[in-house]
Structure 1
Amino acid sequence: MVALASPAGRALPRPHRGEALLRAPWYEAPGSPGLVLHRYLDEEFVERFRQDLEDRPEANAALSAWRAEDVAGPGLLKLRRPIHRAFHIAACEAVCDRPGLPALGPEHIAAAGLVIRRRTRLGEQGWMLANGLPLGWRPLDGEGDPETWRRLPPHRQGRPPSAYTGEEVRPLHPLLVRDSGGRLRCILFGFLSLGGEALPTAPRSDGPLSGPPPEELPWPFGLVNHPSGPPSWSIEAERQVARGLAAPALAALLRVLVFRFQLGLPEGVAPANDGLWAALDGIAFSRPAPGGLSAMQERTHAATHPLLRDGRPLTLAGWLRRLDGATRDTLIGALSNAAPTASVALPGLAEASLLVPEGHASSLRAALSLRGAAALRQLDGALPVPRFGREDTCVARPFLRVRCEDGCERLAWGGESAPFRVALPFDPDATRPVLIQMPSLADLRRGAARGAAFAIPRDVMAKLSGLRSKDGAAGALKGEMPAESPLGLDFICSFSIPVITLCALILLMIVINLFNLIFWWLPWVIICLPLPR
């Protein structure tokens, strides 16, 4: 590898000249998706994949034969989960956009990864995280950078993984191999993780009701479109409503306040929102100012000409509290249907303006952060919701960061994989048989009962002791249970694993035959085949 000398004396990789492309590996048929999926049925799938790349993969029909077996529909793959003892590798090839498409050197790769996107009628959605916790599927805006933390200033980019906020990214690893003709190839491969779950109290993700987390809002003090950190405060940042039209930044904030934290809705009256209500109570509307005023004069006019309702200045909190059913529906429709970069007309405020002083905006920013942290803490005790549903159609897409001559990193996207669905854990077509050796009757009397041990309190042991005899069992049926032992001792009881296993099998067969009278399912429940000794 050709290296440069850094100021500290360390060797740095030489920057890449030109463009980098991601395409399907050379051993795939022409017209294959940009990201190719491989299936392996053992836990050594990484070594198996490495070996396949070295053993003429273009002649290995097994690499693609599984795609004709695991089918969920026309043009749709069915991917098994690790619970089915199946593992999937995603692979693509990195080349330079030059004549002959030579392999891209790993020394030019700053980072590589893949994201999984869900296709819906409203567009693609990404699996989003906030401070390391899953928020679920969320709408995406174009092909932006999936790793949003890279937009922060360099001194803040070293955040721990547990605090990561943005789209979930799985790494791709570079591997240099030679094809059968001796040509060098750069393969990017990684494990396609099909796990994950979100919590039902996370923000909704089935439409426009989900907005970015507070730290990603464009206002106040947001980082969107500001890769070098929050911009300096100005009158443009202060002016958020002009004659009833809310600026796009304020509209994004209102989406979070209304759709996520339910402010302005009956459900929004909750103690957790008290901090937000207090911050919004300090931001008051004013009457429109005449044109041609300086920033100082405009601020003075807003302070001396408040917009009054019932003889009192109307604040953002007061306006949200005054929303009735029809006005609330109008606001929700306007926020839902407007584009992210469009202004939104606020109902009932046709002649209102709004200047938000820097101090009030800072208080609102702090209240948003505290409310977001409280919302994440509420996720801890909730019942998780699976990441992939029965009818979800997804694709995987790779991306690559290349070190450029100017010292920056250039982001390159690759083509998406074939669309797929993820098999449910109990899917009979995805389940692989598991052979369990049952004990024989000769194993029941061998050795001591030392399989499973239970610490049993004295009151429970008194009831169990009465069930050992016929008279005790008959008394239990009549409700006559023996009293506790006067010795007041607890017990540790060990049970034989072979006996427990056979008891479970016998009880299972009894239940299956009883329910067979209703479902007539016995031919599909059990199949017994002779096993020659």
Structure 2
Amino acid sequence: MATHHPVLIGAPRGLARSPRPWLLQRSDDDFLPATLADLRSTAGRERLRALRARALDGQGTLKLFQPIQRQFHLALLETWCDTAGEPRLDPRRVQAAGLVLRRIGTDGRAEGWMKSGGRIHGWLPLTRVGGADADPLPGQRSQRGLTGVPDIDRQLAAFTHAQPDSALEESTIPLYLAPPDVCADAGQSLYYGLVPTVSSEISEADDAFAAAPGTDFGPRSAAFRDHLVLALQGRAMGLPRSGQTITAAWLKDSEQADADAALTRFVLLLRQLASEFDAFGSGGAPILQALASLQLPLVLRSGEVQPRLVRADQFLQQAHAVVLQQQPSGLEMPATWPAMGTAAAQRLLDALHAAMQGRFAAVKGKRGRFDEPGARYQLRAFVRLAPEGACPARILWGEASEPFVIAAWYEGAGAPPVQIALPDPSDKALLGALKPSVAFVVPPSLQSLLSGSSKKLLDGEGQSSNFGLTWICSFNIPIITICAFLVLNLFLGLFNIVFGWMFSMKICLPFPKIPPKP
């Protein structure tokens, strides 16, 4: 039986003897020609050794950066024959070469970024496509296991195509063969590829509503129950200002520093139902149904013996309209909020948890390729070799790179900061030359609000009107930048009292003012 001679893939032997890709971190804009030039000579390869990606996170994991941080990462590889003398592999034998970027799942197993039929399925276990050594292309995978007997192969192909995951394609990163003169000078078959650390691709799969590993946040868990207001836990709760008429002013009263705790808790109840669970929206019916069995007693009036009752769901709907939506009403505050029975409380918790899952799906949206905070990734190179004599085409894999994380966009990477020159506000001649460069179309309601009393606006008492004219207000962008810079410094001074940001976020160094050229 004919067999291929062994072929190896790994870091360029002039840099290291390693079956893993050699990862570079470069900050120069024209990094690709510089890298190819350095591959030609011994001195250049020494520079490439110094440019190896070495940054680590707090856990000691390799850290790569994003282009917004003005850092770029290249993977360098070489292919050679594992025979006497270890000669370079003839590039004409390579049908295709590439990298796969895989995520390490919570169970430690690698996951691939999968697509099929023009749809992006996101991160899926590699077991779905046959394991870590399976060909990324479904067409190539379907050739595996063929017997050469037409009838049998047709049945095998039909069986393979009937499998739900047979069309999954793992996303790949192209590896490019270095120019012939570079390979000739180095005496090696060299490949390079740009390592992506950002992506605009969004998975079509909904993001799962799940707590952190090891944390129970189900409807019966203590963590879920304890974050709820007492009334939503099914427990008794005191109500503020019992027997009084609820008014829209209660919302502002609850925000005062000396606000009654019962009033603050009641407003929190309404806010939690409205914002967290959308109980008063289109999907809130199950929550209101779970509350409908609870009767709230009203304060006894003069001469009354039997207390009047109001259903909890109806009361909360009306209270939401008055307090949060600021609508007029004659709604009366009940005397107390009684405890619910065990079964009724569990039904309420189940309805709240289900509503939270729906709310999460609506606001969380779809997950991007690199959106998982702290996720670890690996690169793995492959070459697809052309048929050799009686030997069929085959795919050859190198070893996976060491695990790495991708730095958040706001982290510093050591690159010098971008400088923005601000105009001198004291230079009257310069300010006269700054013409408006952006215009805002201001609707009548906003213009009337801004035209009113500044003090009332700051106190939250500004009034707007839909009657009037639409205005077009033009500004100069550098002036807007100066205003933003002044406001930034004011707030930095305030926040520095609490967070101590100033010494790490603001570094000011004096330098002589450059006189204008004559």
TM over 0.5: yes
Q: Aligned to 1:71, what secondary structure does the other structure show?
A: coil
> 1:454 Cα shift?
1.6
Deviations 1:219-273 (A, max 9, x none): xxxxxxxxxxxxxxxxxxxxxxxxxxxxxxxxxxxxxxxxxxxxxxxxxxxxxxx
* Corresponding residue number in structure 2 for 1:119: 104
Distance 1:180 1:406 in 2: 29
Q: What amino acid is aligned across from residue 169 of structure 1 in structure 2? A: T
* Corresponding residue number in structure 1 for 2:73: 88
Distance 1:120 1:152 in 2: 26
Q: Is the 8 A contact 2:12 2:190 kept in 1?
A: yes
* Corresponding residue number in structure 1 for 2:133: 143
Instruction: Find the partner of 1:473 among 447, 454, 457.
Output: 454
Change (3 A) 1:410 1:510: same
Q: What amino acid is aligned across from residue 136 of structure 1 in structure 2? A: W
* Corresponding residue number in structure 2 for 1:423: 407
Q: Aligned to 1:507, what secondary structure does the other structure show?
A: helix
Change (3 A) 1:430 1:129: farther
- Structure 2 runs not aligned, ≥5 long: 144-153, 159-165, 214-360, 514-518
Deviations 1:407-429 (A, max 9, x none): 84211111222332221212235
* Corresponding residue number in structure 1 for 2:194: 191
Instruction: Find the partner of 1:100 among 76, 85, 95.
Output: 85
Q: Is the 8 A contact 2:39 2:186 kept in 1?
A: no
Asked if 1:508 is matched to 2:492, the reply is no
TM-score after normalising by structure 2:
0.55
Change (3 A) 1:127 1:482: closer
Comparing 386-395 with 521-530, greater Cα deviation is found at 386-395
Instruction: Find the partner of 1:433 among 392, 396, 417.
Output: 417
> 1:39 Cα shift?
1.5
Q: Aligned to 1:531, what secondary structure does the other structure show?
A: coil
Asked if 1:23 is matched to 2:10, the reply is yes
Change (3 A) 1:144 1:201: same
Distance 2:191 2:207 in 1: 33
* Corresponding residue number in structure 1 for 2:291: none
Asked if 1:490 is matched to 2:470, the reply is yes
TM-score after normalising by structure 1:
0.54
Q: What amino acid is aligned across from residue 411 of structure 2 in structure 1? A: D
Deviations 1:79-124 (A, max 9, x none): 1111211111111111233322222222221111111233356343
| C-alpha RMSD of matched pairs (Å) | 3.8
Matches for 1:384-395 after TM superposition, within 5 Å = 384-385=367-368, 387=370, 389-395=372-378
Distance 1:24 1:477 in 2: 63
Distance 2:500 2:186 in 1: 61
> 1:389 Cα shift?
4.4
> 1:525 Cα shift?
2.5
Deviations 1:174-217 (A, max 9, x none): 1255679956321111111122365561579999xxxxxxxxxx
Deviations 1:342-397 (A, max 9, x none): xxxxxxxxxxxxxxxxxxxxxxxxxxxxxxxxxxxx99992435626454333211
Asked if 1:445 is matched to 2:428, the reply is no
Q: What amino acid is aligned across from residue 425 of structure 1 in structure 2? A: W
Matches for 1:347-362 after TM superposition, within 5 Å = none
Q: Is the 8 A contact 1:123 1:139 kept in 2?
A: no
Distance 2:391 2:363 in 1: 42
- Structure 1 runs not aligned, ≥5 long: 1-15, 157-162, 208-377
Total equivalences in the alignment: 333
* Corresponding residue number in structure 2 for 1:35: 21
Distance 2:38 2:44 in 1: 10
Distance 2:126 2:208 in 1: 12
> 1:27 Cα shift?
1.7
Aligned-residue sequence identity (percent) comes to 27
